[in-house]
Structure formats: C-alpha cells, structure tokens
Amino acid sequence: MKNKKIDPKYIGVPNIQFSLISKNDDREKEFSKQRIERGFDSSEIWSLRDTIANFIIPRLSFYIENIERLGSSHGNASNKEEVIALKKILRMFELTARNNGSFILTKDEEKEFEEGILLFPEWYLSMWT
C-alpha cells in the first residue's frame, strides 16, 4: 500500500503551519500541494516577518520559562540578565506579530521594539540549553 502524503495544515498540531489560505480559497489545492511537498505554502512569505515572529513567540516563551526554572548554563551574563534580555526580545516579536502584523506602535512600544531588535543579535547565539 502506497503511503498517502498528508497536508500538514490539517493534522491538528499547533504552531507548525502558518498558511493564510482558507479551505474555500480557489488556490487551496495548489497551496496544499506546496505544503505537502515543502512543509509550507507561499502564503507564509506574504509577510515572512509575521510568520517568523509567530513561529518564535511560543518557542522563545518556553525557552525563557526553562531558563528561569533551570538557570543559565552558558555565557558570562547572570541568569537574571539573560532572562531580562530574552524577555525584551520576546516583547519585540510580540509587538511584531500583534494585530495580524499591522505593526502600529506607540512611542513607548517603538522604544521597546528597538531595544529588543538590538538585543536579538547579541543574544541569538546564546539561545541554547
């Protein structure tokens, strides 16, 4: 019996599929084929910024929870400094993804975003346990 390939959008696993196409869209068949072949469809790059932010948010949140619970196992920063920096980075991604990616920020949120985006490259290579 030949293995039937399954569209990842419809297997019910949260946070692995970010397709913006509805089942009723005329392009759904084409986009389903893309998801089966490569794991994502072209709608995910309509706003890759939002797709990346939505992918990172739950993973970074969980990572921060683990760092808070287990402590840092690397780097020169204290655990407290690391958690503070990571929470600022997380906030930057949350602001990015908020309101379907409209990216309308208050002056205070613009400052939060800038702080997080500047911290991201500084801490990126330290994000491992």
Does residue 1 sit within a domain? no
Domain boundaries, position 39: 8-44
- Verify that 72 and 115 share a domain, yes or no: yes
- Verify that 40 and 52 share a domain, yes or no: no
Does residue 121 sit within a domain? yes
Look up the pTM and report it: 0.87
Q: What pLDDT, on the 0 to 100 scale, is given for residue 33? A: 96
Mean pLDDT to the nearest integer, 27-44: 96
Q: What pLDDT, on the 0 to 100 scale, is given for residue 78? A: 73
In this predicted model, what pLDDT tens digit does every residue of 9-23 receive, in sequence order?
999 898 899 999 999
**22 and 10 Cβ atoms separated by less than 8 Å:** no
CA–CA separation, 86 and 98 (whole Å): 18
Mean pLDDT to the nearest integer, 67-85: 79
CA–CA separation, 100 and 46 (whole Å): 12
